[in-house]
Amino acid sequence: MAIRKIIRFPDPCLRRKAEPIADIDEEVRVLAQDLTETMHAAPGIGITAPHIGILRRLVVIQLEAGAEPHISINPEIVWSTPEMIRHMEGSVSMPGVSDEIERHARVRVRYRGLDGVERVEEAEGLMAVCLQHEIDQLDGIFWIDRLSKLKRDRLIKRFEKLQRIRA
């Protein structure tokens, strides 16, 4: 198991659609463990395989330290409530900046676990936000695409300035 290098915005891999995972084998289990360790090191509460440059449909979310990570293979939103909520979001691929994004308050997601069993679960609040955020990433939709052009441009400028300061 290893901490992998997280790719940074504006890497084109962040805008590409991830491929479904057909077989849940040892390679996928190792990838899930590496993603979990990489997410903890970032630190973050959610990460996808595309965040480390691997275009596979794998998501890891862990909202609380010590909780079991929620691992989703090939997740898809099958239902969402019309009610919307706003939440601050950011990305392990764009550290140091965040903004408020509007998302569905509740979603129903179908996915497979590491055991290969298909599940359908409902989520609300922060978990619903995280699932939508990470599934967007699998679809090549980077979180800032949900901002207005003006807010997105300002956020990118802030991020670029932070990168120059850190360099």
The upper half-sphere exposure of residue 84, i.e. CA atoms within 13 Å in the direction of its Cβ, equals 5
Report whether 82 contacts 37 (CB < 8 A).
Answer: no
69 three-state secondary structure: coil
Is 134 known to be catalytic? yes
| Location of structure tokens 């997740």 | 75
Among residues 146, 159, 136, 138, the alpha carbon closest in space to that of 100 is found at 146
Provide the terminal-to-terminal Cα distance of the chain, rounded to the nearest Å.
Answer: 29
How many residues make up the chain in this entry?
Answer: 167
The upper half-sphere exposure of residue 77, i.e. CA atoms within 13 Å in the direction of its Cβ, equals 23
- Please pick, among 89, 118, 134, 160, the residue that the annotation labels catalytic: 134
Which residues are the active-site residues? 134
